[in-house]
């Protein structure tokens, strides 16, 4: 099982576990506030914006061009922004911490 910690805008820390799908789906299943995934995970709606901890960035990886284009002018963008529907849940990201951007 891959463990992921979400920190919401209310500073609530929630640890969730999963072993398949993408991080947005896992967040929706666990009712993480601020993650909606309205488009179902196809990088169209930007309602699953998270900030990756700098030390986890290399493991999570950089966004695709379309994803970074969606993020670049977002009001809450940081250099560690990702749309978490584009991050797969697997061993490589076990233990990461994601701050919900909205």
Partner 1 sequence: MTEAASNKTCIVIGASHAGVNFAFALRRNGWAGEILVYDSDPELPYHRPPLSKGYLSAQDNSQLDLLFPKENYESENITLNLGKKVIAIDKLLKTIELSGGSKQGYDTLVLASGARPIVPKIDGLQGAKNVFSLRTFGHTVGIQRALLASVNKRVVIIGGGYIGLETAASLKKAGANVVVLEREKRVLERVTAPEMSVFFKDLHHANGVDLLTSKNVISIENSSGVSTVICDDKTSYEADVIVVGVGIEVNTELAAQAGLELENGIKVSTSAKTNDAHIYAIGDCTFHYNQHYKRYIRLESVQNAVDQAKVAAAAICGNEVNYDVIPWFWSDQYDVKLQMVGLSQGYNNVIKRIELGNEKCQSVWYFRDDDLLAVDAVNNGKAYVLGTRFIKGKQILDKSKLKDVSIPIKPTSFLLD
Strand partners, 16: 4
Q: Which is nearer to partner 1, 47 or 53 (CB)?
A: 47
Helix (H, G, I), strand (E, B) or coil at 26: helix
Report in angstroms how near the CB of residue 94 gets to partner 1 at its nearest: 21
Q: Which is nearer to partner 1, 39 or 97 (CB)?
A: 39
Burial of 36 (0-12, 13-18, 19+ CB in 10 A): middle
Closer of 58 and 72 to partner 1 (Cβ):
72
Q: If binding means CB under 8 A, how many residues of this protein chain bind partner 1?
A: 22
Footprint on residues 19-78 left by partner 1 (CB under 8 A): 28-29, 31, 36, 38-46, 66-74
């Amino acid at each position: 099982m891959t463990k992921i910690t979400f920190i919401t805008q209310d500073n609530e820390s929630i640890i969730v576990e999963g072993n398949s799908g993408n991080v947005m789906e896992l967040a929706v299943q666990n009712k993480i506030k601020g993650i909606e995934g309205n488009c179902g995970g196809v990088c169209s709606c930007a309602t699953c914006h998270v900030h990756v901890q700098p030390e986890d960035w290399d493991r999570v990886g950089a966004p695709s061009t379309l994803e970074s284009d969606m993020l670049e002018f977002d009001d809450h963008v940081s250099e560690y922004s990702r749309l978490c529907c584009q991050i797969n849940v697997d061993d490589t990201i076990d233990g990461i911490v994601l701050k919900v951007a909205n």
